[in-house]
Structure 1
């Protein structure tokens, strides 16, 4: 099931969208202002964000810009009643991936959401948490300036965890990211996470890779 964050201050519209998405098998959290959106996004790993342009407390452009500055690559579909070129250009500069003009058809919204969740945003090229850095263009990872030696699977796991950081990622999502529906055996993820932990935290500094019992793993500066 896809996990989506809807950021919309029109409660009637939000209720309609949430109900329709759930009928389509898409789980949807809701924030009615920009600051709440940032808080929810920190606590959860979403497959995409539906972000209204005009929001109280912090507008959609500022929310989008802050997420991208922090290295968050959640795909963002910006919802707006403005059909002006300037507004679209401002949104794309801030890091949104697509626009949908209000009023919109719910069927089109679902199609756009599914298309977005098939890829992560191309806006982010460097992922970072504390002194752990991953350069996607150069295909290099380092901790405190020391290059990390990662296997191809270790690289995929680290990228997936850093994209979600500081939120935890369920074990099933990590397995699917690496092996799809063909997971080798029940211990495969455990073994690769052990090697990844040694590469990231092995005598370099304070631990960044944390196990969330009964759920999955997270990369963050303090234990969940």
Structure 2
């Protein structure tokens, strides 16, 4: 099992590494919110142990941004806050479990095992679908009309975010954050990825699913009325 520990207490991190590595786990760590968010969004983890009080970006905000990016990785929030309103706030931000400090390491291990097992169980039936477009979150396979789609990782991530939000619109900023976190590249990289995704998903299909919303972003939905789904490369407002 591969874990990400986002915690600024060095002694606690050291204890976690010593305990879990002895049991065959692989761990990464981050000492602050932005670093933890970057690692969680750009690497595959079975679970994340996330402290609430973090430098630069608190745990609840890290979790909120992680969920907005479309990530479903199990997250256990670790904190000294033990009041009911705090626990409710953590769960509403997207936490899967909540453990207050101080705690026993065997209890943390059992809780993480339960989270990963539940996530694995859900994975077999976690299929997003919009019209005849499907994305299997367990296998990462995508298809439309029963025909397999070959997607680059960036396009697959964009597709997941758009399908999770469907039929609502997704802003450019949110899509850029899903791909690059807080450091999106200059230029029209997002537009290029959307172009590739649109070519794979819509292609020659009569019903287009990916729609550009000028000055807003994009939407993935089966629309019954004609819509402007293609964007001129020279128009920055349609990117």
TM-score by length of 1: 0.61
Alignment of 1:1-224 (within 5 A): 2-120=1-119, 141-142=129-130, 147-148=132-133, 158-160=136-138, 199-201=148-150, 208-209=151-152, 219-220=156-157
Return the alpha-carbon distance in structure 2 between the equivalents of residues 8 and 90 of structure 1.
19
Which structure 2 residue ranges, 5 or more long, are not aligned?
Answer: 159-192, 197-239
Which structure 1 residue ranges, 5 or more long, are not aligned?
Answer: 125-135, 163-191, 202-207, 211-216
3-state SS in 2 of match to 1:74: coil
Cα gap change, 1:17 to 1:140, in 2 (>3 Å): closer
Aligned-pair CA distance for 1:160:
2.2
Return the alpha-carbon distance in structure 1 between the equivalents of residues 120 and 78 of structure 2.
17
Per-residue CA shift, 1:14-63, capped at 9, x if unaligned?
A: 01111101111111110111110111112211110000010011111101
Per-residue CA shift, 1:72-131, capped at 9, x if unaligned?
A: 111111001111111101101101011111111111111111111112299x9xxxxxxx
3-state SS in 2 of match to 1:82: coil
When Rg is computed on C-alpha atoms for both structures, the one with the higher figure is 2
Return the alpha-carbon distance in structure 2 between the equivalents of residues 18 and 29 of structure 1.
9
Which structure has more relative contact order (CA 8 Å, sep 6+)? It is 1
Cα gap change, 1:200 to 1:32, in 2 (>3 Å): same
Cα gap change, 1:121 to 1:81, in 2 (>3 Å): farther
| Alignment RMSD (CA, Å) | 3.4
3-state SS in 1 of match to 2:63: helix
CA contact (8 A) 2:52 2:58 kept: yes
TM-score by length of 2: 0.57
CA contact (8 A) 1:33 1:58 kept: yes
Return the alpha-carbon distance in structure 2 between the equivalents of residues 86 and 16 of structure 1.
29
Return the alpha-carbon distance in structure 1 between the equivalents of residues 58 and 87 of structure 2.
14
